[in-house]
Amino acid sequence: MKTNFLPALAGATGMAFVGGSVAVSGFLADAPSLTVQSLRYAVACLLLVLYARLAGKRIVRPRGAEWLWLAGVVVTGMIVFNVALVQGSKHAEPAVLGVAVACVPLLLAVAGPLLEGETPARRLIVAALVVTAGAALVQGFGRTDGIGLLWALVTFACEAGFTLLAVPVLGRHGPLGVSAHSTWMAAVAFGLGGLFGEGPTAVLRLRLDDVLAGVYLAVAVTAVAFVLWYTCVQRLGSARAGLLTGVAPVSAAAVGVAVGGPMPGLAVWLGIAVVAAGLALGFRSSPEVSLPTPETPSRAFDLVP
């Protein structure tokens, strides 16, 4: 009998890596960010291609509208998302942006099933609300102005786009293919930005801690986390997988303590308990949901020209 445990574990692990990146990214505050991001995605892509060859897996070339879906993943989930974080931090405290991201499970619970040709499940919507509330407690609430709220909204939309825009192409390309194509496209985009915005010698200004942080982001947060996350989305559906984004702020809090930060307060512990309750509700025994495979075309999309 099929189980949700392994794909859920994959998604939770991927989100744990993403949450841990919050502390690691702090080491890159003074680094040429566009150049670092380009190198990060380039290294991740090379690792994914190498893994595909060693495992005998084939990465197929996108065709037709698939290019647009993959470009959407890159533009929203990688490029604009990073811009929103940088610009938003100038007008809002980090907690505001974190709470915006914490609202993603609710959008995925509603929009995800519609993209997959299904009807949103009431129980998953309720579970998403619970996870969102718990994640908000973990993140805390901060001060902001109108521009900060706007960037928080952009951050929210981009985080959701990273998952939703991949749904139509996961069936044909699989988690590995979507991850490989999105990383090389992101490497090119950030590379061009770094070349013209930071100069061709920006890579020479990287310090050892910049390189080490970039390696962690490339391997754990990109190459590994992308495949784990998209595997979870493909196996469980974006609505149920979206609940696992609540793991990211919990992981961020834990890593913060591990690198010397203070122990979490009562509100954080309460938030962790609420997130756990939402996950328990959402993953209560129910039929597994899978996205269409090449042999079972999607009812909502036909990407074959």
In this prediction, residue 289 carries a pLDDT of 45
Q: Which residues lie across from 144 on neighbouring strands?
A: 92
In this prediction, residue 266 carries a pLDDT of 80
What is the pLDDT averaged over residues 249-268?
73
Q: Burial-class residue 201 by CB neighbours within 10 Å (0-12, 13-18, 19+).
A: exposed
Residue 185 has a CB neighbour count (10 Å cut-off) of 21
Give the DSSP letter string of 75-139. Answer: IIIIIIHHHHHHHHTTTB-HHHHHHHHHTHHHHHHHHHHHHTT-PPPHHHHHHHHHHHHHHHHHH
In this prediction, residue 153 carries a pLDDT of 87
Instruction: Look over the chain and give the mean of its residue pLDDT values, rounded to a whole number.
Output: 83
How far apart (Å, rounded) are the C-alpha atoms in residues 274 and 198? 43
Residue 233 has pLDDT above 80, yes or no: yes
In this prediction, residue 54 carries a pLDDT of 93
In this prediction, residue 156 carries a pLDDT of 86
CB 137 within 8 A of CB 274: yes
CB 290 within 8 A of CB 234: yes
In this prediction, residue 94 carries a pLDDT of 64
Tens digits of per-residue pLDDT, 114-155? 888 888 899 999 999 999 888 888 877 667 777 878 888 888
